Structure 1
Amino acid sequence: MKEEELKLLENEFCLGCARSCDLLQPNCERGLVKMQEILEEYKKRDD
């Protein structure tokens, strides 16, 4: 995955977060941390 794709994915998550965060995580910040962990895994696979 390219860096731009990762950023786009992260941005989409942030935009959706306000709507879906209550379902995903107790708060948005924790959801975003989880998303960052997922993005790190993608980066590792590409290396």
Structure 2
Amino acid sequence: MGVLTLGIPTHVAVLTSVFGRLTPYGESLELNRLVLLDEVPANADTGQ
């Protein structure tokens, strides 16, 4: 179906500015890449 990769944010405020209770670089990751096969229906990556 697909692959995603997560990584450490490049800046301390990437996620902690939105989710202030997270410990920077310890409790937050960002989505680096998301690849879906062409056979996956439209909007499948939205979670709806």
What TM-score do the two structures reach when normalised by structure 1?
0.28
Higher RCO by CA contacts (8 Å cutoff, separation 6 or greater): 2
Answer 1 or 2: which has greater helix percent: 1
Answer 1 or 2: which has greater strand percent: 2
